[in-house]
Each structure stands twice: as C-alpha cells, then as structure tokens.
C-alpha cells in the first residue's frame, strides 16, 4: 500500500487531480477508476474523485495489478469510409462493441482492426489499440481510429478542446415542441441502477444541442450535436427532456416493433487532420433500419 499526506500547497485540490500529480505515470481516467473501485482512501474512508483535499489528509492507495491483455485478430469486415497513413474513419455497425470487455472478448472493432493492420496507436492501452473515442454497442455510425501515437494525441487534444464536431440523428418518442434547443445537464452514474447514467447534481458537465428535423404524430426526428462526450449522453439527455430514443432498451420504458435496437446513429464527424491540419468532414446516410422507421412514420402521417 502507498501513502501520501496532503501539504498546505496541495490543499484545496480535487483528489483525482492531486493523485495524478503523485502518480504521473497514470492517466487521470485511470486514477478515477481506482477511486471509483475503492482502491483509494482519505483518512481511511472512501470518497469520490471530486473530494477537496485538506491539509494533513492521509491518502492511501493500492495500484491494482494489470492483467495481460491478449486480443485475437478476427477477419471481420470493416466498413472503412477513409484511410491514410495516420487515421481510419470507420462506420461501426449496430450491435458491435468497440473493444473487448471482461465478459466479451471477441467480435469487436478492435478484434477486426488487429486483423486489418498492425499500425495502431497505443495511447488508450493494450486493450484499445487505435481507439480515440467510442460509440455505444447499440449505436452505429462514424468513429475515428489513430494509426500511431502522434495522430492519436492530436485527435485527443481536439476532443478535449471540443473542436471536433460529432453529429447524430435520433428518432424519439413524443412531439418535440421546440425547433432547436440546448440541453445542459450534468451526467453521472445512476445511484439506483448500476447500468444506467442519469442527470445528477454531482455529475460531470454535459451539453447537447438538438434540432428538430421532422415532426410526426407521436414521434420526432432529431439531429443532435455533442458538445461534451459523456457516457450515454444523448440517450440520457433526451430521456431527461421526456423524449427517450425509440427502441432504447435502457432508457425508454416503451417497447416498439418499428426497429430492433435504438434509433440512433453517428452521422457526421468534422475534425482537423493530424498531418495536414486541414479540416475534413465525413458524413454517412442513415442505416437501413433507421430509414425504415422514417419511411413508416412518414407514410402513417
């Protein structure tokens, strides 16, 4: 077990930020995982990552042993929208995970990438080679993949600066009354449902912009732009405004026969290329099942 006592100059810092200074070899995200998993104590008590350190606090922690990760390459077709020596832009299908988890080790984008190329960045760890950002398993659409660490770092900085444009389309329950709007509501883990996120007072800042594309009798077709990138952000924010996404098994109480899975896809990515520094844009058409929903709703109106 390791320990550290907070000095006067370290006081008033968030616990996760202070721990990052003490353990510079680990990312803040990793440190936050330690805190969340109760591997960090302050004065022998478990606290949250946003705990404000006080002079004299005794911080104790254990660094968990990291299991060796073996990812098997799999000959899974990739829908590649763009490729050069620095990046890949891939249209991820619905139902596929981005990377292996503790319970699912195969049939992920990473398994397919390992089979496709050996040129993948390592900044996200051995279990997520090339992965700069993620989509939910049940969300299809565009993702960015970095082929080397310099490209990864450049893209990561754009995500942190919020200069990458990420636009989605969704079909939601109910008539959205406003033509456009901004949802600013912090998102954190739902204390009553471990698989869900929720709008919470102590959550992380989250902002989603939306535009109404088409209004149907009992549904609405929206375009949503992420300004932040929280887990399940669009799904949580739309549920928060009482318009959950059609087919969302986690956040919508109603069931539907219109689509298998949720009516949400990542439509457009705009970013600066890591080598040329020029802004480039990629956009895809709606997947067949999403378009089917729109066709059915249009014919019913």
Judging by beta carbons within 10 Å of its beta carbon (0-12, 13-18, 19+), is residue 96 exposed, middle or buried?
Answer: middle
Alpha carbons 8 and 12: distance in angstroms, whole number: 9
Q: What is the DSSP code (8-state) at residue 294?
A: H
Q: Is 127 among the catalytic positions? A: no
Q: What is the DSSP code (8-state) at residue 172?
A: E
- CA 36, 236, 132, 135 torsion-angle sign: positive
| 3-class DSSP state of 234 | helix
User: For residues 168 and 214, is the Cβ–Cβ distance under 8 A?
Assistant: no
Take residue 164 and report the two structure tokens written for it.
Answer: 């990458």
Active-site entry in 136, 138, 248, 285: 136
Q: Which residues are catalytic?
A: 136
């Amino acid at each position: 077990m390791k320990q550290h006592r907070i000095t006067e100059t370290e006081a008033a810092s968030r616990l996760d930020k202070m721990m990052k200074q003490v353990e510079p070899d680990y990312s803040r995200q990793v440190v936050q995982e330690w805190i969340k998993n109760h591997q960090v104590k302050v004065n022998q008590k478990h606290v949250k990552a946003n705990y404000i350190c006080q002079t004299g606090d005794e911080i104790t922690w254990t660094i968990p042993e990291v299991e060796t990760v073996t990812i098997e390459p799999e000959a899974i077709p990739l829908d590649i929208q763009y490729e050069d020596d620095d990046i890949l832009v891939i249209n991820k299908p619905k139902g596929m995970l981005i990377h292996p988890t503790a319970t699912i080790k195969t049939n992920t984008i990473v398994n397919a990438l390992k089979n496709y190329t050996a040129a993948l960045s390592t900044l996200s760890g051995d279990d997520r080679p090339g992965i700069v950002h993620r989509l939910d398993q049940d969300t299809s659409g565009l993702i960015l993949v970095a082929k080397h660490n310099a490209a990864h770092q450049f893209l990561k900085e754009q995500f942190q600066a919020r200069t990458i444009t990420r636009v989605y389309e969704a079909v939601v329950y109910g008539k959205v009354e406003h033509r456009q709007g901004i949802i600013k509501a912090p998102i954190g883990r739902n204390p009553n449902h471990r698989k869900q996120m929720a709008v919470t007072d102590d959550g992380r800042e989250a902002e989603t912009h939306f535009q109404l594309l088409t209004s149907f009798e009992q549904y609405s077709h929206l375009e949503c732009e992420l300004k932040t990138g929280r887990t399940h952000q669009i799904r949580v924010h739309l549920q928060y405004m009482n318009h959950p996404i059609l087919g969302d098994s986690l956040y919508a109480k109603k069931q539907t026969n219109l689509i298998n899975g949720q009516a949400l896809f990542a439509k457009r990515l705009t970013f600066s290329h890591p080598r040329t520094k020029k802004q480039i844009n990629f956009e895809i058409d709606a997947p067949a099942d999403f378009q089917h929903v729109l066709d059915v709703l249009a014919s019913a109106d």
